């Protein structure tokens, strides 16, 4: 009788343990799946944003000229800004880098951007932003956990309009920025903005913890669903 009770209790304990595991996993899996879905949506939107910038008659020619010699490009499909008295902006983006030896674009790694500005502001807006890394310093800054534009690395507005393509030859900034709001050139200054890695999306998209260096430099991971974005960057850069 004692043995029977012992076995019953043991089986009950196992069942309880399994149920607890199911509850824990049941709660965790949707969260991971949700992050992966968010990451893919960001990748798809980034591709559309880049295509829209390239097609823009004001900034397209100069952007394509810079992409030909770019080390990497960071695309933010939506950067929100809005406040009263104190303005706060932020958004998420994807970073794709060029391997000169392999002559291939790779990525993406996921990033955030944020800044706080003081002044008499009211209302809000949403902008699309593209950052083009032109130098080794620019790449190194973006591959760190976080970097402050204008402080840790130089940033300049990309030239637009007539003669913009020719003006790109004289740019000496580490990173050049382009921005659009409501489909039109915005010319937003990103001095003081902080660019940081978004580790949760990187982990969800590649199935394990990885750094931007693992993704775009060492290329130890890849995701076939990023092919559309990589192709869009390759086409825009012509390399």
Specify the residue for token string 């993704």.
215
Sequence-distant (6+) residues with CB within 8 A of 191 are: 149, 150, 155
Q: What is the mean pLDDT of each run of 10 residues along the chain (239 residues)?
A: 44 37 38 83 97 94 94 93 53 95 95 66 72 96 93 91 69 90 85 92 96 96 97 96
Q: For the whole model, what pTM was predicted?
A: 0.81
Domain boundaries, the chain: 46-237
Give pLDDT, residue 22.
Answer: 35
Longest Cα–Cα distance in the chain:
93
Give pLDDT, residue 188.
Answer: 83
Give pLDDT, residue 154.
Answer: 93
Give pLDDT, residue 166.
Answer: 66
């Amino acid at each position: 009788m004692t043995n029977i009770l012992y076995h019953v209790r043991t089986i009950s304990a196992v069942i309880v343990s399994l149920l607890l595991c199911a509850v824990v996993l049941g709660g965790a899996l949707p969260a991971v799946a949700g992050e992966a879905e968010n990451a893919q949506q960001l990748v798809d939107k980034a591709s559309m944003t880049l295509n829209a910038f390239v097609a823009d008659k004001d900034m397209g020619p100069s952007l394509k000229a810079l992409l030909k010699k770019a080390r990497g490009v960071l695309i933010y499909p939506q950067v929100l800004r809005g406040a009263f008295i104190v303005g706060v902006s932020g958004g998420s983006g994807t970073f794709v880098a060029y391997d000169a030896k392999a002559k291939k674009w790779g990525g993406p790694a996921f990033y955030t951007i944020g800044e706080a500005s003081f002044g008499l502001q009211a209302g809000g807006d949403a902008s699309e932003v593209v950052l083009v890394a032109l130098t080794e310093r620019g790449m190194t800054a973006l591959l760190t956990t976080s970097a402050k534009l204008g402080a840790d690395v130089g940033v300049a507005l990309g030239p637009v309009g007539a003669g913009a393509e020719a003006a790109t030859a004289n740019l000496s900034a580490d990173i050049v920025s382009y921005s659009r709001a409501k489909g039109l050139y915005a010319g937003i200054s990103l001095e003081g903005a902080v660019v940081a890695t978004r580790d949760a999306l990187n982990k969800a998209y590649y199935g394990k913890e990885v750094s931007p260096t693992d993704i775009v430099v060492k290329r130890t991971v890849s995701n076939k669903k990023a092919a559309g974005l990589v192709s869009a960057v390759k086409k825009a850069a012509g390399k």
